[in-house]
């Protein structure tokens, strides 16, 4: 039996794998926020500088924040706010815990 995968099918499969990786990263970050971070608020720089290694860039951290917001784990906090001793403009409150 020979398998032939079209370019569009390969792209669809690759996108599904990427989505799964993004969700896995979001789950890792959520565990870190609830277990290690220890504060009620988080900023983007704190997340990509101090958080799990899977999100060491601003773009990766922003993507994870979007996923966690969509699922109700983070909510916008009006800024600027002091987080981890620094004044931050973009801040989110961690929901639950």
CATH of domain 8-94: 1.10.10.10
Model pTM score: 0.79
Give residue 10's pLDDT band: very low, low, confident or very high (50, 70, 90). confident
pLDDT of amino acid 12: 74
Percentage of the chain modeled with pLDDT above 90: 73
Structure tokens at 39: 């504060």
pLDDT digit string (tens) for 52-85?
A: 999 999 999 999 999 999 999 999 999 899 999 9
Question: Is the bond preceding residue 80 a cis peptide, omega within 30 degrees?
Answer: yes
Tokens at 91, concatenated? 């801040």
What proportions of the chain, in percent to the nearest 5, are helix, strand and coil?
55, 20, 25
User: 55 near 29, Cβ under 8 Å?
Assistant: yes
pLDDT at res. 15: 72
The pLDDT, as a whole number, for residue 3 is 62
Domain spans in the chain, listed from the N-terminal domain onward? 8-94
In sequence order, what are the residues at sequence separation of 6 or more whose Cβ sits closer than 8 angstroms to the Cβ of residue 97? 34
Residue 18 clears pLDDT 70, i.e. is over it:
no
């Amino acid at each position: 039996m020979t398998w032939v995968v079209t370019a569009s099918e390969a792209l669809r499969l690759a996108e599904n794998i990427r989505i799964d990786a993004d969700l896995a990263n979001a789950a890792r970050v959520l565990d870190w926020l609830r277990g290690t971070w220890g504060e009620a608020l988080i900023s983007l720089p704190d997340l990509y500088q101090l958080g799990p290694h899977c999100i060491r860039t601003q773009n990766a951290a922003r993507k994870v924040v979007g996923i966690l917001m969509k699922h109700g784990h983070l909510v916008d906090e009006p800024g600027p706010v002091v987080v981890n001793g620094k004044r931050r403009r973009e801040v989110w409150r961690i929901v639950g815990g």
